[in-house]
Amino acid sequence: MLTKFKENQRVERWKDTPFRDILAVEWEKPTAVDSLGPINAVLPEDAVILTIYNGVVSERWINEKQLPDSLLVRFENNTLDIRLVKGATLDRPVVIHHISEATSPIHIESKISIHAEENTHASFLLLESGEGHYLATPEIDFEIKDHADIEWVRVVLNSDESFSVMELNCDQAESSKFHAVSYQSRGKIIRSNIRMDVNGEEAYTQLDALNIAKEEQHLAHVVDMSHAKPECESNQQIKNIVKDKAMTLFDGEIHVHVDSQKINADQMTRTLLLNDGARTLTIPRLEIYADDVQCTHGATVGFMDHDHMFYLRTRGLSDDAARMLLMRAYGAEIVASIENGSIQEWLFHILDNDIEALL
């Protein structure tokens, strides 16, 4: 992965992320030591917990007797393989807790492969957290079969010294549904490279993302939405709250292939800047080779609305309370899009803490 960063740091769609900060560090391999971390972690209620510690699946935290019969889990070294049996519906969320701990700079690699067979329904949460100076580069592969309905939530709560660059690839079949939610708030550089390939008719794809950036953070989403079959729909909604000298980046491409007619694809980015030094960069891309499609993109950038602030202040709220209320309402739309109630409730608590840290 480091070689890939070095080779592409000046290439289009890579050059806007400061990979030089990552490449300037002499990264070491992590030592294989188990962790007691999950004991004290606050996670969504009634979840199936799978733990990855410094890139290695931690077997001691996986109780096969507590795994649903329709959820098959296999692990080897730094690869976690998950399979949903045909027709399965999981009522409990599956939480993959990716823990990183470093006393010296370490590069943590991990791979997660999720195969959802026909007519399956499940919600997954990947939580990244840790302590110390580390680079995490998780790779996630989804294969979603006909009529499967999968929700994927990634929450990045890494250390202030950390870097995280994720690559996600999703392959969707006919009449399938994939809902991805990305919540990025803690870490020096966080970048999500997301590729979604729709290879079946009447499939639906949705991406909702929220970046909460402060100080000198760089939070990025680089998205490739590929429609290879007709009669499909996709929606992308990205929201940013940016403070201090932080920067957010969204580079999103919608690619409609030849003869992929009746595509409805929408892409929207909204950014709330909290001061003059905060920055955002939005790069929409449309590559369309069919004539009967509806593809749109848009972007808005603005500051806190003074009229809204004045209204809340006249109702007795303090300046901080009014700001917190407006910022929470702004970010709540993304969290509320999560279908699984346990994950949604848990993430609302995280959102409240992150908003409070901006005051």
Query: Dihedral sign, CA of 7, 9, 14, 19?
Result: positive
pTM, full prediction: 0.96
289-310 pLDDT, tens per residue?
A: 999 999 999 999 999 999 999 9
pLDDT tens string 217-273: 999 999 999 999 999 999 999 999 999 999 999 999 999 999 999 999 999 999 999
Q: Which amino acid is residue 195, in one-letter code?
A: R
pLDDT of residue 39: 47
Cα 101 to Cα 125, 132, 246, 340, 350, distances in angstroms = 20, 6, 25, 29, 21
Closest CA to 323 of 270, 269, 268, 275: 275
